[in-house]
């Protein structure tokens, strides 16, 4: 015998498939559903939950359940997930085998060194490799100024925690910016100020005012392929930031997390324009290869190194030496550069597909600017669309995407944007995902118009 919820579920499903309940239409509240299908509230909840699992309806928090915003017949087919929210590299292109080889070789070569406590600043022979590796991006540093950390996130957190020789305590961040940095600053209770960043950069006069008038310890910036904007600073902007840093004794925390994605030969970091020792350069290895290794590097001016070492040592003694030694060999045998080249080209092509799909599918009320490389871009929605409604509707069509909300300080004016990542979507998924995004947004607007009309009629009555 069928359970009652199954009966209710199949009745609602029939109405959905016959579009008696239209795509985007709100379903009766749980109580109303219980009354209509003469069942208990629990049965109605269970029926809705089962329909949700089948991607026929979706829930909007504090609002209710809605029929999915595409034709009911197509909703019957299983939809493959399209993930525009990911920040972790595509598992399909991770260099597992090559790295496994380097791990085995590292154990043979270094034996017990890998399983003892080690230098908090990092395995020396890796730091020597890093010296060569960083020089390719115009980051010239001695091993004594290079530190290995357990991911870029650890470097950001430690730098936010420790005192700086300029004696200042506040931090300035771009708005929007990488949410991991914002969370660290918030947890540490650090006074944080924001400066607006767009695809064109920041207002450099405003930056100067901040540097002059506020007690800024450091300015955290993601100059290249910004998260979430995808924007890059021009050479002139980077030079000016370096000049202002020196003039006002403010440090720059330069997060170059996508340095290896660079496709233009002559794009140097802020670090290369600063002879005064005011730039801390952080480079993560997570986006190019295996984020689970937790490996990144920091180049510090001598004035910061001792304090940083102390904070690093008291945090985790040292980064896993096994991972460090394997990375050293991965660099030494040229596998890193080979892999980076492949990834760079792959993501560049995806960004091209994204730009093309956005141009063809998104209506003129959407605003997007897509860089030539990197992994992120932002799409600004018209005011009529609430990003959370759109995200929820897409979620139920197996499209994952995030808003830019978490990239903002609580006190800063937010945009109405979505962050689109291509790191785990191939060309075909980008095409289908952006088409679905446009289709779903149009259906949402349509639904809102209808509900608006209905409300007017209701009010007149």
Which residue, 221 or 397, is less far from ligand PLP as judged by CB? 221
**Candidates 131-139, 147-155, 343-351, 384-392; binding stretch for ligand PLP (CB under 6 A):** 147-155
**Candidates 21-29, 237-245, 283-291, 360-368; binding stretch for ligand PLP (CB under 6 A):** 283-291
Q: Contacts with ligand PLP in 50-89 (CB under 6 A)?
A: 87
Which residue, 233 or 257, is less far from ligand PLP as judged by CB? 257
Residue 351 binds to ligand PLP (criterion: CB under 6 A): no
Which residue, 43 or 407, is less far from ligand PLP as judged by CB? 407
Unique residue bearing structure tokens 């830019």: 404
Which residue, 154 or 379, is less far from ligand PLP as judged by CB? 154
Q: Contacts with ligand PLP in 118-137 (CB under 6 A)?
A: none
Residue 270 binds to ligand PLP (criterion: CB under 6 A): no
Question: How many Cα neighbours within 13 Å face the side chain of 105?
Answer: 16
Residues 6+ apart with CB under 8 A from 412: 175, 194
Q: Residue 413 CB, nearest distance to ligand PLP (Å)?
A: 21
Interface pattern 293-322 for ligand PLP (x via CB under 6 A): ---x--------------------------
Q: Contacts with ligand PLP in 168-227 (CB under 6 A)?
A: 178, 180, 222, 227
Query: Judging by beta carbons within 10 Å of its beta carbon (0-12, 13-18, 19+), is residue 363 exposed, middle or buried?
Result: exposed
Q: Which of 172, 300, 425 is closest to 309 using CA atoms?
A: 300
As given in the structure block, the two tokens for residue 39 are: 């069942």
Residues 6+ apart with CB under 8 A from 314: none
Q: Residue 203 CB, nearest distance to ligand PLP (Å)?
A: 21
Q: Residue 184 CB, nearest distance to ligand PLP (Å)?
A: 11
Which residue, 8 or 289, is less far from ligand PLP as judged by CB? 289
Count other Cβ atoms within 10 Å, centred on residue 412.
Answer: 18
Angle between helices 96-110 and 321-332 (to 10 degrees): 110
Unique residue bearing structure tokens 């290895």: 285
Cα–Cα distance, 51 to 18 (Å, whole number): 15
Q: Residue 287 CB, nearest distance to ligand PLP (Å)?
A: 7
As given in the structure block, the two tokens for residue 212 are: 């002059």
As given in the structure block, the two tokens for residue 131 are: 């010296």
Task: Rule CB under 6 A: choose which of 23, 24, 122, 152 binds ligand PLP.
Answer: 152
DSSP secondary structure code for residue 253 in this structure: E
Phi/psi for 332 (5° steps) reads -60, -40
**Candidates 31-39, 136-144, 151-159, 416-424; binding stretch for ligand PLP (CB under 6 A):** 151-159
Q: Contacts with ligand PLP in 373-392 (CB under 6 A)?
A: none
Decide the pairing of beta strands 399-400 and 82-83: parallel
Report the largest interatomic distance among the alpha carbons of the chain, rounded to a whole angstrom: 84
For ligand PLP (CB under 6 A), the number of binding residues is 14
Q: Residue 352 CB, nearest distance to ligand PLP (Å)?
A: 21
Residue 43 binds to ligand PLP (criterion: CB under 6 A): no
Q: Contacts with ligand PLP in 243-262 (CB under 6 A)?
A: 255, 257
**Candidates 21-29, 96-104, 149-157, 272-280; binding stretch for ligand PLP (CB under 6 A):** 149-157
Q: Are 290 and 127 in contact (CB under 8 A)?
A: no
Which residue, 5 or 123, is less far from ligand PLP as judged by CB? 123
Three-class secondary structure of residue 282 per DSSP: strand
Q: Residue 227 CB, nearest distance to ligand PLP (Å)?
A: 4
* DSSP-assigned beta bridge partners for residue 399: 82
Cα–Cα distance, 35 to 104 (Å, whole number): 65
Decide the pairing of beta strands 216-221 and 57-60: unpaired
Q: Residue 163 CB, nearest distance to ligand PLP (Å)?
A: 22
Task: Rule CB under 6 A: choose which of 120, 151, 371, 417 binds ligand PLP.
Answer: 151
Cα–Cα distance, 276 to 239 (Å, whole number): 12
Q: Which of 450, 30, 26, 419 is closest to 229 using CA atoms?
A: 419
Residue 291 binds to ligand PLP (criterion: CB under 6 A): yes
Residue 103 binds to ligand PLP (criterion: CB under 6 A): no
Which residue, 24 or 374, is less far from ligand PLP as judged by CB? 374
* DSSP-assigned beta bridge partners for residue 283: 297
Residue 153 binds to ligand PLP (criterion: CB under 6 A): yes
Unique residue bearing structure tokens 């406590």: 117
Binding residues for ligand PLP (CB under 6 A): 87, 151-153, 178, 180, 222, 227, 255, 257, 284, 286, 291, 296
């Amino acid at each position: 015998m069928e359970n009652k919820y199954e009966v209710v579920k199949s009745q609602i499903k029939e109405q959905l498939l016959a579009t008696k309940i239209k795509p985007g239409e709100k379903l009766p509240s749980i109580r109303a559903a219980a009354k209509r299908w003469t069942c208990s509230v629990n049965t109605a909840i269970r029926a809705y939950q089962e329909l949700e699992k089948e991607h026929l309806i979706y829930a909007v928090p504090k609002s209710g359940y809605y029929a999915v915003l595409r034709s009911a017949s197509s909703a019957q087919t299983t939809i493959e997930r399209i993930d525009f929210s990911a920040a972790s590299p595509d598992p399909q292109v991770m260099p597992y085998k090559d790295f496994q080889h380097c791990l085995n070789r590292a154990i043979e070569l270094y034996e017990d060194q890998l399983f003892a406590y080690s230098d908090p600043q990092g395995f020396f022979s890796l730091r020597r490799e890093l010296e060569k590796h960083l020089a390719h991006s115009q980051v010239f540093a001695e091993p004594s100024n290079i530190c290995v950390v357990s991911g870029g996130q650890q470097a950001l957190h430690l730098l936010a925690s420790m005192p700086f020789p300029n004696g200042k305590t506040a931090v300035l961040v771009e708005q929007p910016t990488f949410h991991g940095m914002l969370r660290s600053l918030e947890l540490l209770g650090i006074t944080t100020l924001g400066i607006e960043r767009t695809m064109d950069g920041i207002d450099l006069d405003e930056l100067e005012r901040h540097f002059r008038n506020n007690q800024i310890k450091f300015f955290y910036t993601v100059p290249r392929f910004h998260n979430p904007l995808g924007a890059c600073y021009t050479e002139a902007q980077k030079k000016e930031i370096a000049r202002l840093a020196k003039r006002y004794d403010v440090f720059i925390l330069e997060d170059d997390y996508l340095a290896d994605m660079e496709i233009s030969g002559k794009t140097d970091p802020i670090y290369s324009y600063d002879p005064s020792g005011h730039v801390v350069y952080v480079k993560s290895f997570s986006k190019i290869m295996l984020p689970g290794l937790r490996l990144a590097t920091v180049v510090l001016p001598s004035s910061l190194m001792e304090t940083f070492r102390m904070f690093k040592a008291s945090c985790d003694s040292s980064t896993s030496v096994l991972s460090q030694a394997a990375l050293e060999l991965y660099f030494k045998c040229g596998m890193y550069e080979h892999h980076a080249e492949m990834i760079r080209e792959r993501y560049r092509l995806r960004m091209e597909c994204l730009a093309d799909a956005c141009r063809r599918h998104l209506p003129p009320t959407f605003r997007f600017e897509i860089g030539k490389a990197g992994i992120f871009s932002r799409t600004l929605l018209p005011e009529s669309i609430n990003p959370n409604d759109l995200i929820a509707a897409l979620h139920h069509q197996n499209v994952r995407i995030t808003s830019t909300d978490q990239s903002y300080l609580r006190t800063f004016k937010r945009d109405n944007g979505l962050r689109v990542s291509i790191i785990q979507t191939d060309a075909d998924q980008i095409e289908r995902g952006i088409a679905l995004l446009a289709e779903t947004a149009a259906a949402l607007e349509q639904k809102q118009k209808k509900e608006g009309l209905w409300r007017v009629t209701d009010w007149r009555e």
